[in-house]
Amino acid sequence: MKHTCCMLHFNTAFNLCVVSSPEECARDCRDNEEPKNCYYRFHIEFYTTIGPACNYTFLDQCIIGDGFEKTLIPINRQLPGPLIKVCVNDRIIVDVENAASGNEVTLHWHGIFQNGYQYYDGVPYVTQCPIPSSTTFRYDFVVKNSGTHFYHSHISTHMLDGQYGGLIVRDPPSKDPHYQLFDKDEIIIFLSDWMHELSAERFPGWYWHDLGQTAKNILINGLGQATAQITNGSLTEYTVKKGERHRIRLINSFTTVCLAELRIEQHELVVIAQDGANVKPKPVDKIVTSTGERVDFILTANQDVDSYWIQVLGLGECNGTRRVQQFAILQYEGGPTWPTRPQPSYADGESATGVTYNPLESTCDENNTDVCVNQLEGIDVDPDLLNVEPDERHILPFWFFNYTRYDDKILFGSDTYRTFIDVNDFSQIISTFNEIAYESPASPLLTEPRSYRTVCKKNVQNSCTEPCTCAQVINTKLNNIVELIIYDAVRVEDLHHPFHLHGYEFKVFTIGQFLSSKNISRANIDEVIKQHTERLEKGEYKNPPGKDTVKIPMGGYVIIRFKANNPGWWLLHCHFTWHHITGMELVIHVGDRNDLPPVPYGFPECSNWTPALHTLNNFYGIRYP
């Protein structure tokens, strides 16, 4: 692996460089250290849990999951996939070998800005062609922003089939404002949701039994109990030493609409970063996350030498009849391997008192007893972001287009094959964002920008009837201050959609919720903007915190801002898999072609191929009249 030749992209010359292994890269980060070239090989194939590898003592390729036998499409026969742990400014090279015959792959490096490496963001038909099976695609980028990130499949529903893993980018001591607050930085709590069949079974979904896409289980670092029964060995155990302060990195890699609430018996959790953005420390008792969100917190092992339950409750739809929950164990060195107290029930977790970070329902104003993500204090803010008027403001409602309300001919008319999902109330829906359901073009927008229909807004393009579908693009000027107001126009019980922006960290200014169950009108939003403007005029926003994924409360809204200083084609989408693949996404196009690095030499292309009919006929010498 070491001392290999490799080529730096965007560089015409060949550069000799040393490639380091994952272990060499997962070093302590030091000031003034040479960055490393970190190489990973990701092999993707169909596989099963509790398979024959689990019979041998060397368990490297044994995936247990929750002990239920099922097919998955993991990376390197691991769940979660291999951990990428590097220092800021390292270069990450990942060769993705797609051996899952019949399935395409792309991987998104969630949280990495990719400024200068726009071709490696992993969004199919936006930044690259999907990786066909039996081919290898090399992701190759330098990470310039630190934090707790992760990677996951960005195509179809494959994220649920086990294609994800942690991506931790650490700062050297002088760059980490919280460096003095912890002794150890080793624990990762990686949360994923789980079903007992391949995800494809649930897209569009079943109609007669077990409707919808609700998760069956939750896994913590790929492990969990299948039922209420306690089985030793199937839970993740974290070991700490009494007195130590741990920086714990929590990653939510769910795919369904369930959210997760984490609590660690008898321990306070001090939040220090969200989605890789540092914040002033804030002690809380419970941490709620939705898919795409990450939280770094400090846990001080200051309780009796013992074992403690780490309890994760599934919220939203997972808090229905099933009350899905999962456990891991925090074990103090010298303490028992298993907690002496009984395993808490869902109701025990629910009734545990204390302050909740990122609560589901909250007004997020000064009277809030919980802590909304906009109520943490950032470490630094670009003063331009506090301008009263942004350079651009985009008001973006989202809702579901419900085919079932209309004549069935819209969905099942002859010769129309519209995308839909079957949801748990027997209706068929697609998802719209800014009044359009996103539809992929046939070639990546980044490399083939002419391939999309430029005008596709309802009422503007005559041919676009409701539901309007197209590759929706919002053009933005490089370096503009951009404000987005994203709102849940038609509230649906239990849904709190998390929106993720690629390529950026934004600042969260306001989160709010309308308490009535009425639809949110544009007039409601105008009132919200008025109050927001007043707050800006009075200088009431001091240091809005950063994030890259933010959950919009049911029937609520968020106001976020960012400086558009990263040129490229960046997806903005609901991170619930079934929502974004049915249209709840759009592309923010920043700058133009001249602002981007050249397309890497030999970069794969894809497109439709429907040649004129006479081409073939000319070749064979056949003529039509």
Q: Which residues bind ligand NAG (CB under 6 A)?
A: 55, 230, 232, 261, 313, 315, 319, 337-338, 350, 360, 365-367, 399-400, 402, 404-405, 423, 425, 427, 429, 490, 492, 518-519
Q: Which is nearer to Cu ion, 185 or 548 (by Cβ)? A: 548
Closest approach, Cβ 166 to Cu ion, in A, equals 24
Q: Which of positions 181-220 make contact with Cu ion (CB under 5 A)?
A: none
Q: Which is nearer to ligand NAG, 232 or 610 (by Cβ)? A: 232
Among 282, 497, 500, 563, binds Cu ion (CB under 5 A): 497
Please give the single-letter amino acid code of residue 233: G
The interface partner of residue 574, options being ligand NAG, Cu ion, none and the CB cut-off 5 to 8 Å by kind, is: Cu ion
- Residue 557: closest CA among 395, 388, 392, 356: 395
Residue 579 found at the interface with Cu ion (CB under 5 A): yes
Closest approach, Cβ 578 to ligand NAG, in A, equals 12
Angle at the Cα of 494 from the Cα atoms of 491 and 498, rounded to 5 degrees: 80
Closest approach, Cβ 62 to ligand NAG, in A, equals 11
Six-digit token string for 460 = 């503007």
The interface partner of residue 579, options being ligand NAG, Cu ion, none and the CB cut-off 5 to 8 Å by kind, is: Cu ion
Q: Which is nearer to Cu ion, 249 or 497 (by Cβ)? A: 497
Residue 563 found at the interface with Cu ion (CB under 5 A): no
Sign of CA dihedral 327, 330, 335, 340: negative
Which region among 378-386, 406-414, 459-467, 489-497 touches Cu ion (by CB under 5 A)? Answer: 489-497
The terminus-to-terminus CA distance of the chain in angstroms comes to 63
Residue 551 found at the interface with Cu ion (CB under 5 A): no
Burial of 15 (0-12, 13-18, 19+ CB in 10 A): exposed
Q: Which is nearer to ligand NAG, 360 or 470 (by Cβ)? A: 360
Which region among 247-255, 467-475, 497-505, 603-611 touches Cu ion (by CB under 5 A)? Answer: 497-505
Six-digit token string for 526 = 């105008």
d(CA 280, CA 543): 10
- Residue 471: closest CA among 495, 487, 454, 458: 454
How far is residue 448 CA from its own chain's centroid? 26
Closest approach, Cβ 549 to ligand NAG, in A, equals 20
Six-digit token string for 557 = 């809204």
Q: Which is nearer to Cu ion, 163 or 582 (by Cβ)? A: 582
Closest approach, Cβ 55 to ligand NAG, in A, equals 4
Six-digit token string for 620 = 């064979």
Residue 75 found at the interface with Cu ion (CB under 5 A): no
On the question of a cis peptide bond just before residue 567, with omega within 30 degrees of 0, the verdict is no
- Residue 241: closest CA among 192, 305, 155, 173: 305
Residue 500 found at the interface with Cu ion (CB under 5 A): no
d(CA 81, CA 221): 10
d(CA 212, CA 263): 28
Six-digit token string for 515 = 């308490």
The interface partner of residue 244, options being ligand NAG, Cu ion, none and the CB cut-off 5 to 8 Å by kind, is: none
Q: Strand 84-87 vs strand 164-170: parallel, antiparallel, or unpaired?
A: parallel
Among 576, 586, 587, 589, binds Cu ion (CB under 5 A): 576
Contacts of the segment 598-601: beta carbons below 8 A, 24+ positions apart: 598/10, 599/119, 599/447, 600/9, 600/10, 600/119
Q: Which is nearer to ligand NAG, 413 or 598 (by Cβ)? A: 413
How far is residue 89 CA from its own chain's centroid? 22
Q: Which is nearer to Cu ion, 29 or 550 (by Cβ)? A: 550
Q: Which is nearer to ligand NAG, 114 or 428 (by Cβ)? A: 428
Q: Which is nearer to Cu ion, 156 or 221 (by Cβ)? A: 156
d(CA 448, CA 606): 10
Closest approach, Cβ 189 to ligand NAG, in A, equals 18
d(CA 275, CA 295): 6
Q: Which is nearer to Cu ion, 396 or 574 (by Cβ)? A: 574
Closest approach, Cβ 52 to ligand NAG, in A, equals 7
With contacts defined by CB under 5 A, how many residues of the chain interact with Cu ion? 5
- Residue 329: closest CA among 246, 232, 261: 232
d(CA 617, CA 624): 8
Closest approach, Cβ 579 to Cu ion, in A, equals 3
The interface partner of residue 576, options being Cu ion, ligand NAG, none and the CB cut-off 5 to 8 Å by kind, is: Cu ion
The interface partner of residue 543, options being Cu ion, ligand NAG, none and the CB cut-off 5 to 8 Å by kind, is: none
**Beta carbons within 10 angstroms of residue 313's beta carbon:** 26
Q: Which is nearer to ligand NAG, 200 or 492 (by Cβ)? A: 492
Closest approach, Cβ 180 to Cu ion, in A, equals 39
Interacting residues with Cu ion (CB under 5 A): 497, 574, 576, 579, 584
